[in-house]
Chains A and B, each alone.
Chain A
């Protein structure tokens, strides 16, 4: 029996392949719960999960909330648009205040890299990183791996292209690490101004054109944010779309299409591509709940049930 994970999930680097597989296996068993009329198991009854969100978020915060509730946990949601640091209270004081409630887990989303790791030093709760700056978003990568493993059976040897604004993307960083750990080969593609210098040090290839996109089994498209135009990373959305938009003319019918949401229709993806059967975007959202249930379960309860299920 493999050891219990944790105590925290801060980075994909906290997990080896066996650890990722274990979470995905657990998520498979929770997918079954989602099919029931009463979508609840009592695993975390009487325990508290705090969702601490310093950034606007729809799908991540709602899916963490649902995941905790389906495990029967008591859930406290704290949302702050902008940073509470700006409002006077430091992150440390906020976390120490919340820790007085003795939560089993704190789920944290922050605009700043390393926030989750700092929080882990200030609380006895398990800390789950729901996105820290442009650094990591490990549960997104896990749900993406889950979605792909379900579709492909295995990621071994899969050729995955991540296309778009890699520079500012925590999703890209966690996915590069997680997908490679699961046996896939990763290529990142985007405007040269939006590819970090030395990104190849993460083990992926980097290219500025879509010329070889046909080799991809999976095309993972990143969100292109409007503010990048203001900062002159790309001259215009029109030029970006002309060079990098994924649409049916650039896609084979057997290539899978993914996107972490929310999508800018007509910018990084054409409407036809979004609505095509090869798009897994809806499955990614759905997987989010089961995978986050699995992460909470593995960190807070651990191995016994897996042994029973197995």
Chain B
């Protein structure tokens, strides 16, 4: 995908004929078998199966029985660069994204050092121009050092390439500080994305507060620590007529606060993660640190509310909050373990398996929400239509795989879906008109002797 705020090496645009795929692009009202001819990285023609012929020397990819969707866009990824490359770097994160069917990723600024200064951002952009396997954008922090008491040079950061601003990992505790950032947005633009958590309520909590935390004796993070901040910041965004995006919404109370904010006309949007849509705090009974993240996995009524809100569009998009951690940071007692789960390689398959297959959500809804984050962050939305840059993913919905059985593309293995059998295998990802990922066949034909 192309934008002046997405960075990747110059790609080699491809010529390719995708033959007989089931093409689903809800935005283009497309849901039928097609041949897709890609020439110079652009969708040149769509035609009935078998009707198109490849230009000379172009590869033909037989996609019979497979689906083609617009490739996914993830507005919430921790790429851990600079400073924490032992967890992940630009190469491994973007390769994991490509393997998950993504054509663009947006990286969070809670790195070491924090992305709070134009010089740090410029250096990172330069690295992304060499290392990113798919177009990658960067959020800068709202406050210096994520400390919550001094605004960053937001305008200069925008000029250096920042898509928007967030203190993700932490809330902006001071309403006054957030108000100034929302005001300043009028000068510099860029969405302001918010990790909503009142630390006076969440305190030293490590999981959702409820029956399971009562059983385990673990300090709870009450749902209201999130929802009260969404209510507060929805009101602030409305008052300043600013654009705010609520990250990783997790609780039924938060869905209610979000609905209230939207009803009053606030220009707010929201994302939800695959793990909050498919898993609950009941899994924490195992005390497996893979199920420790912030916001925490919540209870079944919360999960149901999130599914309903994603279906209705109240929650706008899916984001992974891909949060890699090294083994030694997770292989400790639950209370001491780092918070977060990886998600880029499993997002679509988890949602397809746990929500589409049981009939909870239509496939078209999932496909739409997996790339809906693009528009919220001022990026072009991937589409499958004549003249559009090829940003698409070929997925075999029939094929299943055991998560982690063959390792991960990500440098880290802290995946909450580890060991689950999921359906929906990505076989080919095209990003910005080039091949970003192609499934390698483990068993290849033996060479003739």
Contacts and interface: CB of A to CB of B under 8 A. Distances in A.
23 contacts: A85-B332, A90-B332, A92-B331, A112-B332, A112-B335, A113-B216, A113-B333, A113-B335, A114-B334, A114-B335, A118-B331, A118-B333, A134-B218, A196-B214, A196-B217, A196-B220, A197-B210, A197-B214, A197-B220, A198-B214, A201-B214, A202-B214, A202-B215
B287 interface: yes
Contacts of B175: none
Interface of B: 209-211, 213-218, 220, 222, 287, 328, 331-336
A269 interface: no
A133 B214 contact: no
B334 A112 contact: yes
A199 interface: yes
B333 A110 contact: yes
B215 A91 contact: no
Contact of A91 (B211, B214, B333): B333
A273 interface: no
Interface size class of A (residues with CB under 8 A): 20 to 34
Given A90-B328, A113-B287, A196 B213 contact: yes
Ordered nearest first, which 10 A-B pairs have the shortest CB separation? A134-B217, A114-B287, A112-B333, A201-B211, A196-B214, A198-B211, A135-B217, A199-B214, A115-B333, A114-B334
Contacts of A113: 216-218, 287, 333-335
A135 B216 contact: yes
A22 interface: no
A133 B335 contact: yes
A112 B331 CA distance: 13
Between A113, A114, A136, A197, the greatest number of chain B beta carbons within 10 A of the residue's beta carbon is seen for A114
Contacts of B333: 91, 110, 112-115, 118, 132-133
A92 B84 CA distance: 23
A123 to B, nearest CB: 14
Interface string A87-100: 00011100000000
A173 interface: yes
A270 interface: no
Residue picked from B215, B222, B331, most chain A C-beta under 10 Å: B215
Nearest to A206: B214
Interface in A129-145: 132-136
Nearest to B335: A112
Nearest to A121: B331
Interface in A149-169: 168-169
Nearest to B219: A134
Nearest to B211: A201
A207 interface: no
Contacts of B331: 90, 92, 118
Contacts of B218: 113, 133-135
Most buried by B among A91, A135, A173: A135
B246 to A, nearest CB: 24
Contacts of A223: none
B366 to A, nearest CB: 32
A235 B213 CA distance: 24
Nearest to A174: B217
A196 B216 CA distance: 10
Contacts of A247: none
B251 to A, nearest CB: 14
Interface string A56-100: 000000000000000000000000000001000011100000000
A191 B209 CA distance: 18
A135 B284 CA distance: 13
A136 B214 CA distance: 12
A140 B279 CA distance: 34
Residue of B213, B333, B334, B335 ringed by the most chain A CB atoms within 10 A = B333
B332 A197 contact: no
Contacts of A170: 217
A110 B287 CA distance: 14
A110 B217 CA distance: 13
Contacts of A202: 214-215
Contacts of A169: 217
A90 B333 CA distance: 10
B336 A112 contact: yes
A117 interface: yes
A112 B220 CA distance: 14
Contacts of B215: 173, 201-202
Contacts of B213: 196-198
A262 B332 CA distance: 29
A91 B331 CA distance: 9
A113 B328 CA distance: 17
A168 to B, nearest CB: 8
A128 B216 CA distance: 17
A173 B217 contact: yes
Central interface residue in B213, B216, B217, B218, by most chain A CB within 10 Å: B217
A113 B288 CA distance: 11
A170 B210 CA distance: 17
Contacts of A118: 287, 331-333
B40 to A, nearest CB: 53
Nearest to A132: B333
Interface in A171-227: 173, 196-199, 201-202
